[in-house]
Chain A
Amino acid sequence: MASHFIQEGALGILTLPGTGGNYLEQPDFTDVDWLRERFSNTGLKGIIIRGSGRHFSAGANLDKLKKLAGDETLLFHRMTAGKKLIQMIAAAEIPVVAGISGVCFGGGLEIALACHIRVCSEKALFAAPEANYGIMPGLGGTVTLSRLIGPGKAAEMILSGDIVNAEKALALGLTDYVVPDRDLHSFTLDYLNKMTADRDTAVIRSIMKSIHHSQTMDFESALEEETKLFCALAVSHLKNKE
């Protein structure tokens, strides 16, 4: 059930658990400390998150979730751990790109939404089906989806539970790129490599911090922080020249 992580050049590739039809066996789909260690590798310039085999992720395994719900304390504990993973991805100071093939449902969609950029196969399918089972997204999906595609479209997608195909996902702004199925991984690798090649990790991290601030801080504070980050780069630049 474990996720695995490999490094290709300066890029990290996280593959989501693949056994049992690409379901997430638990809300905390991988070990928090394990992922933190992978993400804090300062040699990396970007990370790709992809599914194992044909699908990105089918979301929670409902039977497992029902069992888990029998123990309220344990459920809360596991959901909190799941949110920590989501938060770790969202707050990463290097670009995280989701490479989405096949189904991207429920918790899987929430993982994709935590990524900074989404590339999907033309055969990809998206849905937040929780409401069909009398529940709702629990790993931040209502918030992240609203932010990405607007509250109206997010409400429609979450309340209906309807499946959205790649073409519609592109129109909604749910995905940033749609590519032929067989090119998904090579496109994603190439895209991230082109973006970050020749870029100093300090520059990448400073830019990412500032872009995160645009959502987490009030406007004027974010502007001031950007100027500080710029100044730090300019100063280190001058030091390197000496």
Chain B
Amino acid sequence: MMFRTIDWKIADDTGHLVLNQPPANIMTRLFFDELGHLTKHVIPDSQLKALIIYGNGRHFSAGADHYELTEHIRENLPGNYPEEIPSFLKENLQSFLYLDQLSVPTFAAIRGTCFGSALELALSCKYRICGEGTVLGFPESSFGLMPGCGGSVRLAGIVGKARAIELIVSGRNFSAEEAYHWGLIHKILPRKVVIEETIILAREISNRRVNPSVVE
């Protein structure tokens, strides 16, 4: 299966999910559709020991295009809204939840920018490894919106309510160093080695999990 917005490959039992619309790797509708397909039909049939998510090029991703997103909501409001919400939003939620509940270690290897839905995607992974100089944030409130795919719930679960309120209400950017201090990310590395080091880390952790003899 070929995707247009995602580069998917398996190497050494590790799945590589690469956001592939450089330079900003914007998470378009097509991206979410392809992510849905990947999480429903491809990953469950792959015998993965680990999964790594990263962006092609300098950036992880600048997040969703909120103009496109709100337009798409307008065009797809169900007849019984607000009891029901557009089905594509539920699908997105399911894709992220699938990653969240995956029974192998999952890693977001983050370089450059990681905003909005991209940060929601990263929060759906178990480990977040950042390159030096990475900038993160939930800027939705500055567009009159809020995170819509688990960001506020997941962030509060990781850094506590106080920090989550501060970051999501203000919408301010923050650095990898701040995020590390709050326990939001696990490691900061020189940006050139982020992907390769994450691959090594994924291999170490997953091998230990499935094959204890490696540790001995």
Contacts and interface: CB of A to CB of B under 8 A. Distances in A.
Contacts of B165: 95, 116-117, 195, 207-208, 211
A214 B146 contact: no
Interface stretch (B13-21, B86-94, B191-199): B86-94
B147 A226 contact: yes
Given A116-B162, A116-B165, A199 B141 contact: yes
A233 B85 contact: no
A66 interface: no
A223 B162 contact: no
A152 B63 CA distance: 38
A206 B146 contact: yes
B30 interface: no
A214 B148 contact: no
A211 B167 CA distance: 12
By DSSP majority rule, is chain B's interface helix, strand, loop, or mixed?
A: helix
Contact of A195 (B70, B77, B152, B169): B169
A50 to B, nearest CB: 17
Scoring B69, B73, B143, B170 by chain A CB atoms within 10 A of each residue's CB, the highest score goes to B170
A231 B161 CA distance: 22
Given A195-B166, A227-B90, A227-B149, A211 B161 contact: yes
Contacts of B69: 234
B144 interface: yes
A224 B86 CA distance: 12
Interface in A93-133: 95, 116-118
Nearest to A208: B165
A208 B85 CA distance: 20
A230 B160 contact: no
Interface of A: 95, 116-118, 148, 173, 176, 194-196, 198-200, 203-204, 206-208, 210-211, 213-215, 219-220, 222-224, 226-235, 237-238
